Amino acid sequence: MSDTTEPTVAEQRSIAISGMMADARSNREANSHLIEAVRQDPDLAESVRQELCADLRRVFELPRELFPPSASRERYRQHGHYSEQLIRYTIGTHAEFKRRAGLDETMADKRVYSNISKTLRAQDVMHYAEKHVKPWDGAYDRLDMTAEQVVLQIGSDWHSRYTDPFGLRVWGEVRDMVKPDGLRYNGDMVDFPKLSKHRQLPGHFPLTIKQEADSFVNPVMRADREACPDADMKIIMGNHDARLVYALAEAPNALYQLGEYAGYDKMFCLDELEVGLVAKSTFLNPTERMKRRDIAKNWEVLYDSNGQPFWTTVHGFLTGTGSAMKHLVKFMTNGTNGHMHNPETASSGTLATGPVRWFQTGCMAFPHGVGDEYMPGPIEASGWATTFIVARLFPRHRHVAVEECHIGRSMAYFGGYTWEITPEEMDQRQAMLEV
Ligand SMILES: [Fe+2]
Ligand SMILES: [Fe+2]
């Protein structure tokens, strides 16, 4: 008969829970005077807190067959022997209640654990950089600063597939004219953050990281090496390049599965093309802020014939109006920076240094291609322009003669020669805007 059968497990559970809740309710009533008692005698507060914490631990340990362990606010409201008001009055938040009851990590504990993890992750990146980046810092040095004249061709902010096709052709032909002793790729060779965004666009055929690197290595560095077999070629790492190192170091498993895991050195064919890096950063940076500061410590200084600092090449880390002058003041040598994408020059000096000149290059990227997504208003208004420089250094005289090549909408000029854009190059620019 149904009225003589034993209750089911579910029924037993619900009876037990109702009983416990009724019990908790009567306890809360019995303890309801406590809030007034603590108001009257604040010295009681500490012992009340201890009672509260003991009670939260009791709730947490309610029989496993009835509940999974929890010290949530909801659970305590149902089964706690004290009112929420009392908790608020003596302890404050529920999170603090849990911490005091030893059921949650304290803020300080959390910070210590998170620092351990962050440091560990930072060490992984540093080890990656020690293996795949740092050994090429200063590799393949070939400049002779005792020569009467040293010619450098310097371009910054290539942003891989946003490199301006017309600009790249002019870069190559100017290179063949001036036969530089050194070529400087002054930062942002790749455009890594955009790559990850593209991956999220459904149906968009993504470029792999390797393709991204190749789109700089082959048309730029490989072509330069073929044209200038003896030149001193250097990559000065910028913020986007550093980001790529972090990505390669931090996600080896995911990238390996995508068939994209590679050493930074191999990806940029450093040994094959005999290209060195300027990579002074430690890559040991547990925080975002430290990452930014670390890459801002990356520059190359060339010395005059008396061994005095003479020419600095830095990707750039000082922004805002007058950024060329800001860099000049920081280094007080002749020099160049990129990063801003708008060309600027500055002139200053001291009694000790003599006059010094500074040249902020535009970008080697097509400004509309690289800037469309995040620059408000017309790109023209930003002053962004495709430019590179040829710097003739005279170390014995501490003199520099710098010529800029500006690649415009349809033409470019350098050293008595003019170039005009081809229809194919115009199409390639247009294609960059159609993502
Ligand atoms: Fe850039
Ligand atoms: Fe940059």
Domains of the chain with bracketed CATH: 9-100 (no CATH), 135-432 (3.60.21.10)
pLDDT above 60: residue 177: yes
* Distance in angstroms (rounded) separating the CA atoms of residues 341 and 156: 8
Residue type, 155: G
Segment 364-393 shows an average pLDDT of: 90
The number of angstroms, rounded, from the C-alpha of 391 to the middle of its chain's C-alpha atoms is: 30
The pLDDT value recorded for residue 205 is 46
- Taking the CA of 236 as reference, the closest ligand is 2
Task: Please tell me the distance between residue 188's alpha carbon and the centre of ligand 2 in angstroms.
Answer: 5
The number of angstroms, rounded, from the C-alpha of 170 to the middle of its chain's C-alpha atoms is: 31
Q: Which residues contact 114 (CB under 8 A, 6 or more apart)?
A: none
Task: Please tell me the distance between residue 412's alpha carbon and the centre of ligand 1 in angstroms.
Answer: 21
Task: Please tell me the distance between residue 295's alpha carbon and the centre of ligand 2 in angstroms.
Answer: 10
* Distance in angstroms (rounded) separating the CA atoms of residues 416 and 403: 12
The pLDDT value recorded for residue 207 is 64
Q: What is the DSSP string of 189-251?
A: -S-HHHHHHHHTSTT--PPPHHHHHHHHIIIIIIHHHHH-TT-EEEEE--HHHHHHHHHHHH-
Task: Please tell me the distance between residue 213's alpha carbon and the centre of ligand 1 in angstroms.
Answer: 15
Sheet of 232-236: strand order equals 275-278, 232-236, 182-185, 150-155, 386-394, 399-407, 411-414, 417-420
The pLDDT value recorded for residue 262 is 75
CA nearest neighbour of 167 among 214, 210, 220: 220
The pLDDT value recorded for residue 287 is 86
CA nearest neighbour of 181 among 141, 231, 236: 231
The pLDDT value recorded for residue 146 is 95
Residue type, 54: A
Strands 275-278 and 232-236: parallel
CB 216 within 8 A of CB 158: yes
pLDDT above 60: residue 193: no
The pLDDT value recorded for residue 202 is 46
The pLDDT value recorded for residue 199 is 46
The pLDDT value recorded for residue 67 is 83
Task: Please tell me the distance between residue 321's alpha carbon and the centre of ligand 2 in angstroms.
Answer: 16
Query: How many alpha carbons fall within 13 Å on the CB side of residue 221?
Result: 27
Which H helix or E strand runs over 85?
Answer: helix 84-90
The size of the chain, in residues, is 435
pLDDT above 50: residue 159: yes
CA dist list (Å): 3 to 6, 9, 17: 8, 16, 22
Task: Please tell me the distance between residue 179's alpha carbon and the centre of ligand 1 in angstroms.
Answer: 26
Q: Where are the alpha helices (DSSP H) in 133-204?
A: 165-178, 192-199
Sheet of 299-303: strand order equals 299-303, 309-314, 334-337, 354-360, 344-350
Q: Assign 203 a pLDDT band (cuts: 50, 70, 90).
A: very low
pLDDT tens by residue, 102-156:
888 777 778 888 888 888 888 989 999 999 999 999 999 999 999 999 999 999 9
CA dist list (Å): 353 to 305, 309, 357: 14, 9, 11
CA nearest neighbour of 192 among 234, 237, 247, 235: 247
C-alpha dihedral over 114, 119, 124, 129, to 10 degrees? Answer: 140
Q: Is 360 left (phi over 0), alpha (psi -120 to 50) or beta?
A: beta
The pLDDT value recorded for residue 204 is 45
Q: Would you tell me how many other CB atoms lie within 10 Å of the CB of residue 244?
A: 23
pLDDT tens by residue, 224-264:
999 999 999 999 999 888 888 888 887 766 666 666 667 89
- Taking the CA of 239 as reference, the closest ligand is 2
* Distance in angstroms (rounded) separating the CA atoms of residues 282 and 129: 8
* Distance in angstroms (rounded) separating the CA atoms of residues 246 and 227: 32
- Taking the CA of 323 as reference, the closest ligand is 2
The pLDDT value recorded for residue 292 is 87
- Taking the CA of 314 as reference, the closest ligand is 2
Task: Please tell me the distance between residue 151's alpha carbon and the centre of ligand 1 in angstroms.
Answer: 24
Task: Please tell me the distance between residue 215's alpha carbon and the centre of ligand 1 in angstroms.
Answer: 16
* pTM for the model: 0.78
Task: Please tell me the distance between residue 135's alpha carbon and the centre of ligand 2 in angstroms.
Answer: 23
Task: Please tell me the distance between residue 147's alpha carbon and the centre of ligand 2 in angstroms.
Answer: 32
Which H helix or E strand runs over 284?
Answer: none
* Token pair listed for 269: 């064919």
C-alpha dihedral over 106, 107, 113, 116, to 10 degrees? Answer: -150
- Taking the CA of 189 as reference, the closest ligand is 1
